[in-house]
A and B are shown apart, each in its own frame.
Chain A
Amino acid sequence: MGIKDGPELLPGTLELLILRTLAGGARHGYGIAQHLKSVSEDVLQVGESSLYPALQRLLLKGWVKAEWGASEHNRRARYYTLTAAGRRQLAVEQREFDRLILAIHEVLNTA
């Protein structure tokens, strides 16, 4: 589950990032990748081989749902939206992640 040309992510982080991205509204796969790239100022460049399996895992878990719609260039594109379960999961994971980062910070600062 590598991120192309970028730092390695902790397991499960990509899903969290996708959930967070979709919290702002429906996006298609390419849109999600672009969003992550631009928000992280090009640090996070997510490749298709990570992005799409991650999206499928979220579909399987029922946290997002996908629908076909017209893109900005008038092409058919698959848009992902957060489900209620996904929204709950996002809250949970965000808390967990914050705790983890805090812990790592503690360790790094103490040692």
Chain B
Amino acid sequence: MRHLLRRLRYLLQRRRFDADLAEELEFHRTMKERDLLAHGASPDDARFAARRAMGNTTLVREEVQEVWISRWLRELAQDVRFAGRLLAANRGFSVAALLTLGVAIGANTAIFSVVRGVLLQPLPYRDASRLVRLSEIHPGGHPLVQGDVLTSLTYDAWRQAPPRTLDGLAAYASRAYNVTGLGDARRVLATAVSPGLFGMLGVAPAAGRFFRAGDAMSGADTVAVLTYGYAAERFGTPALAIGRTMTLDGRPHRIVGVTPPGFSFPAADRLLFTPFVEPPASGSGPATQVSTFDVVARLAPGAAPAQAGAEGTAIARSLGPPPVGADLLLGKGGPAEVRAVPLKAEVTRAVEPMLWLLSAGVVLVLFIGCANVANLLLSRGVARERELAMRAALGAGRGRVLRQLLTESLVLAVGGIAIGVLLAWELVRAWPALVPASFPRIDNVRLDWSVVLFATLLALLAGAAAGLVPAIHAARTDHQAVLHGGSGILGHASRERLRRLLLAAEAALAVLLLVGSTLLVRSFVHLVETDNGYDARHVLTARLSLQGRAVTPQRWQQVAGSVLDRLRALPGVEAAGATSMPPLGDVAHINGFYLPGHDGPFIAHALGAVVTPGYAEALRFRLRQGRLLSPVDAHAGTQALVVNQAFVDAYLNDGRPVPGRRYEGLLGPHLTAQIVGVVANVLNDGPTTRPQPQFYVAAGNEGRVTEGHEIDLVVRTTGDPTSVVPALRAIVRQVAPDVPLDHVTPLAAELSATVDQPRFVTLALTGFAALALGLAAVGLYGVLSYGVSRRRRELAVRLALGAERRQLAALVIGDGLRVTAVGLVAGLMAAAALARALQGFLFGVSPFDGFSFVTAPLVLLLVASAASLVPAWRAATGNPADALKTE
């Protein structure tokens, strides 16, 4: 090792070494000349002798160079060449080893580049590690608002305190605007932000300015900031956007700034920003008006998130008991608690467990790959025993042999890098298409030099790990024995043990991955087979967004009615309807009302959807009792309601028939509501969610149930649902040109998107398990084949002594299954210990699912038997005479 360092120094400072030597030789010559002169030689003789010495300097320099570098390099080159020749000669072995290493390294490198880009790299903001999201909860309460928010009370008090643990706070809230006046009306997602937000994130405008304090006052001029991409799309050159006006929700907005390219907040789908206007405070005591919004903050230098949380909690509690509004929004629970979570953790929360799971899986694959290559090298080492013994006899030191064998595995590793990087390149390129669209920081996943460096280190490590054990083994073999009689029997016992150990380890890791993937597959099957309560096939969904403030139920019904009338007239449309609250939509209208009970009236909560005729038919809701809504219900004096099964289970489970029940003033003064039917539960938020009590009421008869701003259309077609899209667009352009139409997707695709992430994890882990299984099978096949060829004599003798061929085959298969079984038991134990880690990924399946724990080992045993068949057949069909003649 120290030799190596000195050699490296020589290589780096070669010029100086050469100069030193030249000067030294010149000195030598001068001294010699002087001595010759002193001993009475004539000056001419002395100079001649000196010149003769000079002639030698070239030779000396060459020899010195030889000392430092040549031999070493020459030997290395020799080893590499030799390794290359060997690999080329054993094509089967080389291909197997290269592919194993390449695939394992490629998969690991790809996953690493994702983990690095998504989880490890800081967010693209200044000093991003100090940014936190603040949220407030009432422990134990059932919050009405989803997501992490702060109440306006805590936010204001904290800002005025002033904060000790924070350098600043900024509020933001999601918005959606109808953009009109240029082409088709368009719905655009936006973020309303406190003026200080951009500064806190450390971004500067690419053009114009960001918001000022005055922009965030109610009544101020309406201004907007566009993202670079959106500005470029609308105005060609982003800078040209400054000073222009855009119509958002019917109101002109002056564009004052453009963000730098690539910037958006909090997600890439936001195209513009408006100033966040805090609702003016009103009321006092319990009646104080409260609102909630998202808050991001910058920690003061040295402050930890937990300290900020503690300060926020103290401030929230110092405000006294929460007003009714806060209890309504956050739920009634214990005293307020404030949490600060690093912004990056917040952004990546949805995918972090999944990425670590994939990392663990892919590392297991790498282990199996290494074990496999080690095994292949070991079996080849046996074949080369004589060659190595000969080398040792000819004077090759143990170190030299070791080095040569290691060089071979490192040559393999270099091949592995090439294949691995290529594979990783492809995987990373395909990444955005492989993962759910909602995957965070997708643009930040790249294959760059640090990733390639990672692959290289990994490959060298893998190569060394795979090569070291066999190399040490080979170096230790009793070469005398090898040269004397057939093979060095002594080394075999321990070598065989080692190979079996490696095989058992492979089987164990493979079974571990198999159990995991079986669990995930079963969970996924559960997911897609879940009854969502509607039939998504052949259904097109689309959303019409009515403009901000001027929405009335009449406008909603008029737009929906005229679009639906024309839609139903289209050929290929079976049924069409509209609702205020579709399945898989992002709106939820919760209604509270009094229902009569045993001990007097009680408050019930239910989702309330306003629907048009044809809606339930288009989605094929399943009727349990009574009837569906009909067109006559829309303007009848009685409010006809259809409720779902969960509503009945929660509120009306007294066993009496539900249809026909009437309630005075339930959903509006002077109105009588009558339940006319019960339908099966609809899982509004996808298959993993629980059904909630819900009722459906006809548009026109909705009472105080709100439609909201969105008209969600559902169209059942006879064929491909997307075939009606052009006609739908034409209808909307004609009937309501200022209403943007978006979310135009087949419902089946939306439903499938809700399981995108489970599908991806399941596919990836199943892929890893298949890879592991394949590798383990190849390993087993290799070991058994070698065993059969080594035991040819023994098998032949057995056959000659009367053993049946069937018995010989059983011998080999039994051998393979025994090794597999040992690994299998170890793997199952490991799986049982680790299964709990999968809990969060499983739906409808226990992590200790018996089926998975039985199927996985069975699959492995089956594959192991298949891998043993060829060697067993070879053992059974060998010609004993041939075997006995050789050797």
Flag B514-552 by CB within 8 Å of A: 1 or 0 each. Answer: 000000000000000000000000000000000000000
Please tell me if the beta carbons of B60 and A52 are within 8 angstroms of each other in the complex: yes
List CB contacts (< 8 Å) of A50-85 with chain B. 52-53, 56-57, 59-62, 66, 68, 71, 73, 75-78
For A97, list chain B residues within 8 Å (CB): none
- Which secondary structure dominates where chain A touches chain B? helix
CB within 8 Å for A49 and B3 given contacts A28-B27, A29-B24, A77-B27: no
- B156 in the interface (beta carbon within 8 A): no
**Stretch of B61-69, B87-95, B419-427 contacting A (4+ beta carbons < 8 Å):** B61-69
Interface string of B50-83 (1 = CB under 8 A from A): 0001001101100110111000000000000000
The answer to whether B30 has its CB under 8 Å from any CB of chain A is yes
| A71 cross-chain contacts in B, Cβ below 8 A | 27
Counting chain A CB atoms within 10 Å of each CB, the highest count among B20, B24, B56, B59 belongs to B24
Residue among A52, A59, A62, A68 having the largest count of chain B Cβ atoms under 10 Å: A52
Q: Does B2 contact A (CB under 8 A)?
A: yes
Chain B, interface SS category: helix
B67 contacts A48, CB within 8 Å? no
**B67 pairs with A56, CB closer than 8 A:** yes
Q: How far is the CA of A78 from the CA of B63 in the complex (A)?
A: 19
A47 to B53, CA, bound (A): 9
- Contact in complex: A48, B53 (CB < 8 Å): yes
Contacts of A59 in B (CB 8 A): 6
Residues of B close to A73: CB separation below 8 A = 34
B28 engages A49 (CB within 8 Å) = no
Taken together as a complex, chains A and B put the C-alpha atoms of A57 and B60 apart, in Å, by 13
Contact A52 B30 (CB under 8 A): no
List A residues 13-45 near B (Cβ within 8 Å): 28-30, 33-34
Is A56 in contact with B68, judged by CB distance below 8 angstroms? yes
Nearest CB on A from B34, distance (A) = 8
Which residues on A sit within 8 Å (CB–CB) of B64?
52-53, 56
B137 to chain A, nearest CB (A): 66
Task: Determine whether the beta carbon of B25 is less than 8 Å from that of A52.
Answer: yes
* B21 lies within 8 A of chain A by Cβ: yes
Residues on the B chain within 8 Å of A61, using CB: 3
A residues less than 8 Å from B30 (CB atoms): 75
| Residues of chain B contacted by A33 (CB below 8 angstroms) | 28
On whether the beta carbons of B25 and A75 are closer than 8 Å, the reply is no
Q: Which residues of B contact A68 (CB under 8 A)?
A: 20
Chain B positions 23 through 51: 1 when the CB is less than 8 Å from some CB of chain A, otherwise 0: 11101101110110000000000000000
Q: A60 near B6 (CB under 8 angstroms)? A: yes
Q: B403 within 8 Å of A by Cβ?
A: no
- Is the pair B63, A49 in contact by a Cβ cutoff of 8 Å? yes
The smallest beta-carbon distance between B843 and chain A, in angstroms, is 65
Which residue from chain A places its CB closest to the CB of B27 in the assembled complex? A77
Chain A: which residue is nearest B72 at the CB level? Answer: A60
Contacts of A34 in B (CB 8 A): 35
Q: Which of B6, B28, B68 contacts A48 (CB 8 A)?
A: B28
Q: Select B57's contact among A28, A29, A48, A76, beta carbons within 8 Å.
A: A48
Contact A76 B23 (CB under 8 A): yes
| One of A30, A53, A56, A57 near B27 (C-beta < 8 A) | A30
Hey, which chain B residues are within 8 Å of A75, CB to CB?
Answer: 27, 30
Q: Is there an interface contact between A78 and B24, defined as CB atoms closer than 8 Å?
A: yes
User: Is B622 in the interface zone, CB < 8 Å from A?
Assistant: no
Instruction: List 30 contacting pairs A-B, 8 Å CB cutoff, sorted by A.
Output: A28-B24, A28-B27, A30-B27, A30-B32, A47-B56, A48-B25, A48-B28, A48-B56, A48-B57, A49-B59, A49-B63, A52-B21, A52-B24, A52-B25, A52-B60, A52-B64, A53-B60, A56-B67, A56-B68, A59-B6, A60-B3, A60-B7, A60-B67, A62-B3, A71-B27, A75-B27, A75-B30, A76-B23, A77-B24, A78-B23
B residues near A (Cβ < 8 Å) are 2-3, 6-7, 20-21, 23-25, 27-28, 30-32, 34-35, 53, 56-57, 59-60, 63-64, 66-68
19 additional A-B residue pairs with CB within 8 Å, beyond A53-B60, A76-B27: A28-B27, A30-B28, A33-B28, A47-B56, A48-B25, A49-B56, A49-B60, A49-B63, A52-B24, A52-B25, A52-B60, A52-B63, A53-B63, A53-B66, A56-B68, A60-B3, A62-B6, A68-B20, A78-B20
Residues of chain A at the chain B interface (Cβ within 8 Å): 28-30, 33-34, 47-49, 52-53, 56-57, 59-62, 66, 68, 71, 73, 75-78
